Amino acid sequence: TQQMLRNFPDLFAQIQVLYTSPLLRAIQTAELVLEQNSALDFEFLPELDKLFPPHDFVDHLRSIASQKTMAFVGHDPHLSRS
């Protein structure tokens, strides 16, 4: 994640809302992004927890669709299956 932040700073600067799983590793990753872009909105999204079925995340994503640029911090293979 740190290498991605260094290599693609403009990409991360465009994020307006960051959603993360409530699990520790995802929170740690989200914190690295927040260090680069402290102006973005930050929210926990329980549906990103690998204990939830992937379709719960997809359903929630449909309900929050907006004009904002969103990023999600979750877990693989959970997100890959979404």
Tell me the chain's radius of gyration from C-alpha atoms.
12
Q: Give pTM, 2 decimals.
A: 0.81
Residue at 38: amino acid letter? S
Burial class from Cβ neighbours inside 10 Å (0-12, 13-18, 19+) for residue 65 reads exposed
pLDDT at residue 22 in the model: 94
- d(CA 17, CA 50) in angstroms, rounded, equals 20
CB 71: neighbour CB atoms within 10 A? 17
- d(CA 9, CA 36) in angstroms, rounded, equals 8
Q: For residues 16 and 69, is the Cβ–Cβ distance under 8 A?
A: yes
pLDDT at residue 39 in the model: 83
Which tokens belong to 13? 């600067």
Residues of the chain falling short of pLDDT 70? 82
